[in-house]
Structure 1
Amino acid sequence: MARPAEHDVSSRVLTLPNLLSFLRLALVPVFLTLLMQGQDAGALLVLVISSATDFLDGFLARALNQVSRLGQLLDPAADRLYIFAALIGLASRDLVPWWIVLVVVGRDVFLLILGVILANFGFGPLPVHQLGKVATFCLFYALPMIMLGEAFPAVAWWSQPIGWAFGLWGAFLYWWAGIIYAIETLRVIRLPRVPVPVPSDTLEP
Structure 2
Amino acid sequence: MTTTPVEPERSDRVWTIPNLLSMLRLVGVPIFLWAILTKHDTLALVVLMLSGISDYLDGKIARKFNLISNLGALLDPIADRLYILSTLLGLAWREIIPWWLVGVLIAREVFLTLLLLYARTKGLREMPVHFVGKAATFNLLYAFPCLLLADGDSTLAQIARPIGWGFAWWGIVLYWVAGLMYAVQLRRYVRAATLHPTAT
Q: What TM-score range do you get, normalising by the shorter chain?
A: 0.7 to 0.9
Question: Is it true that 1:92 corresponds to 2:93 in the alignment?
Answer: yes
Cα drift, residue 62 of structure 1:
4.6
Distance verdict in 2 for CA 1:185–1:60, change over 3 Å: closer
TM-score by length of 1: 0.83
Number of matched pairs:
190
**Percent of aligned positions with the same letter in both sequences?**
46
Alignment partner, residue 28 of structure 2: 27
Alignment partner, residue 201 of structure 1: none
Matches within 5 A, 1:144-159: 144-150=145-151, 153-159=154-160
Determine which structure has greater relative contact order: mean sequence separation of CA pairs < 8 Å that are 6+ residues apart, divided by chain length. 2
Distance verdict in 2 for CA 1:121–1:63, change over 3 Å: closer
1:40, 1:150 within 8 Å by CA — same for their partners in 2?
A: no
Alignment partner, residue 4 of structure 2: none
Structure showing greater radius of gyration is 1
Cα drift, residue 104 of structure 1:
0.8
- Please, which runs of 5 or more residues in structure 1 have no aligned partner? 1-6, 197-205
Alignment partner, residue 199 of structure 1: none
Alignment partner, residue 185 of structure 1: 186
TM-score by length of 2: 0.85
Alignment partner, residue 194 of structure 1: 197
- Please, which runs of 5 or more residues in structure 2 have no aligned partner? 1-7
Cα drift, residue 60 of structure 1:
4.1
Question: Is it true that 1:128 corresponds to 2:129 in the alignment?
Answer: yes
Alignment partner, residue 14 of structure 1: 15
Deviations 1:103-130 (A, max 9, x none): 1111011111111111001112222232
Once residues 181 and 59 of structure 2 are traced to their aligned partners in structure 1, the CA distance between those partners, rounded to angstroms, is 27
Which amino acid is the alignment partner of residue 158 of structure 2?
W
Once residues 52 and 184 of structure 1 are traced to their aligned partners in structure 2, the CA distance between those partners, rounded to angstroms, is 30
2:25, 2:51 within 8 Å by CA — same for their partners in 1?
A: yes
Cα drift, residue 195 of structure 1:
4.8
Once residues 30 and 97 of structure 2 are traced to their aligned partners in structure 1, the CA distance between those partners, rounded to angstroms, is 19
Alignment partner, residue 139 of structure 1: 140
- Cα RMSD (Å): 2.2
Alignment partner, residue 162 of structure 1: 163
Once residues 102 and 185 of structure 1 are traced to their aligned partners in structure 2, the CA distance between those partners, rounded to angstroms, is 25
2:144, 2:164 within 8 Å by CA — same for their partners in 1?
A: yes
Which amino acid is the alignment partner of residue 38 of structure 2?
Q
1:41, 1:151 within 8 Å by CA — same for their partners in 2?
A: no
